Amino acid sequence: MEFRDDLKLNPFDPREQADLASRLEDFPLFAGLEARELETLAASMLTASAARGSIVFQEGDPGHFLALVLDGKVEISKETDHRNSRQLGLATPGKTVGEMALIDGEHRSATCRCINDSQLALLTAASFQGLVQKTPMLGFKIMARLGKMLSQRLRLTTGQLVDHL
């Protein structure tokens, strides 16, 4: 599995893993999970550093990971038909981007760029599948929360679309 050169994967550090497990509680996607579930999840993740201006993923890239913003800020944008881009949103610490990659594995529908130096946690689709096989209930809880979050976003987008019709 390959990541963009802009992402500097951090070497494994057990202390960092314990810190990541405690920080996962701040993400709505993982709210309410038990401490041992957060530890299991953190053990399945990679952490990465990305400098200001770095591309986390580009529209059209293969979608094989979800990113959690630990520190910094990232912008999500979509190319327009005039080869310009339009900002869809910003993600700050406690937010996730690229969630659809865990569900459909399709190519990226938008670009994610770091607005400033950022720290990210990455959950690859392969790691998530392994987690689901080892701990099916944890996988179910995450998928249920992911479904709810994506449903809420779809409702919001539908409301915005109606305003433009």
Flag whether 127 is in a domain: yes
The confidence band for 1, taking pLDDT boundaries of 50, 70 and 90, is low
Is residue 153 assigned to a domain? yes
The domain spanning residue 88 has which CATH number?
A: 2.60.120.10
Q: Give how many domains the chain has, as a whole number.
A: 1
Contact at 8 Å (CB) between 70 and 80? no
Strand partners, 68: 96, 121
Mean pLDDT of the chain: 91
pLDDT in tens, 64-118: 999 999 999 999 999 988 778 889 899 999 999 999 888 898 999 999 999 999 9
Task: For residue 1, tell me if it sits in a domain.
Answer: no
DSSP helix/strand/coil, 127: helix
DSSP state of 122: E
Q: What integer pLDDT is reported at residue 23 of this predicted model?
A: 95
**Alpha helices, H only, 2-135:** 14-23, 35-43, 100-103, 125-134
| Full-model pTM | 0.89
pLDDT surpasses 90 at 142: yes
* 137: in domain: yes
**CA torsion through residues 151, 28, 141, 132, sign:** positive
Residue-range definition of the domain harbouring residue 41 = 8-163
- Answer yes or no: is pLDDT of 11 > 80: no
Asked if residue 3 is part of any domain, the answer here is no
- Tell me if 29 sits within 8 A of 92, measured CB to CB: no
CA distances (Å), origin 25, targets 6, 70, 108, 126 = 27, 12, 26, 22
| Separation between Cα atoms, residue 129 and residue 84, nearest integer Å | 36
- Greater confidence (23 vs 102) lies with 23
* Nearest CA-CA partner of 125 in 42, 66, 56: 66
Count other Cβ atoms within 10 Å, centred on residue 128.
22
